[in-house]
């Protein structure tokens, strides 16, 4: 399936909690394929259904281009470590913007697979940061919400300067972005 248009910050869909997936079947599998295809096209590590305008609790993560994407339906954090780690983060919904964010260094999370079977997994290091980042997105917490007010304001100022030229280059390249007000 083709990659879908990305939702661009500050689209209000990025700050709304996603709806739990209740129906497991062909529709969910098609959505996961769309999220996976869009993740590959965007050269992203993680992507949620809200990034493509679908308010469903679906995450696809692929830590490297050689790796098979992993799908997590209705993921939720079950445990976070007391120890923390700081990693650089960004979002396909705010291209070119990156900042360092401190999060728990290790997590345990629950999720369902495409058939609805429930699983638990653990992650540490950068994968733990990616899992938390994507679950935040599903909870309506955009990554910049984790920054101090001063860092967030500086980042938004930089983004406001590059966004118009970025939108023009996407339009010229035939790609589309969904933009919010």
Q: Is 30 exposed, middle or buried (0-12, 13-18, 19+ CB in 10 A)?
A: exposed
Catalytic site residue 175?
A: no
Structure token digits, residue 145:
């919400």
Q: Which residues contact 25 (CB under 8 A, 6 or more apart)?
A: none
Asked whether the beta carbons of 57 and 20 are under 8 A apart, the reply is: yes
Tracing tokens 């995450």 back to the chain, one arrives at 59
Exactly one of 67, 134, 167, 171 is catalytic; name it: 134
Asked whether the beta carbons of 3 and 33 are under 8 A apart, the reply is: no
End-to-end CA distance of the chain: 29
CA distance 176 to 7: 9
Residues known to be catalytic: 134
């Amino acid at each position: 399936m083709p990659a879908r248009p990305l939702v661009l910050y500050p689209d209000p869909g990025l700050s709304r909690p996603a709806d739990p997936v209740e129906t497991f079947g062909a529709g969910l599998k098609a959505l996961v394929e769309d999220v996976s295809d869009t993740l590959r096209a965007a050269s992203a590590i993680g992507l949620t259904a809200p990034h493509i305008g679908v308010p469903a609790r679906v995450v696809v993560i692929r830590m490297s281009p050689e790796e098979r994407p992993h799908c997590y339906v209705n993921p939720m954090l079950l445990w976070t470590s007391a120890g923390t780690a700081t990693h650089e983060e960004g979002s396909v919904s705010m291209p070119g913007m990156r900042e360092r964010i401190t999060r728990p260094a290790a997590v345990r999370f629950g999720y369902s697979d495409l058939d609805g079977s429930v699983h638990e997994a653990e992650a540490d290091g950068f994968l733990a940061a990616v899992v938390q980042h994507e679950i935040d997105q599903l909870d309506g917490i955009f990554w910049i919400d984790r920054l101090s007010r001063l860092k967030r304001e500086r980042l938004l100022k930089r983004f406001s300067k590059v966004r118009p030229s970025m939108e023009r280059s996407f339009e010229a390249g035939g790609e589309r972005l969904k933009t919010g007000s």
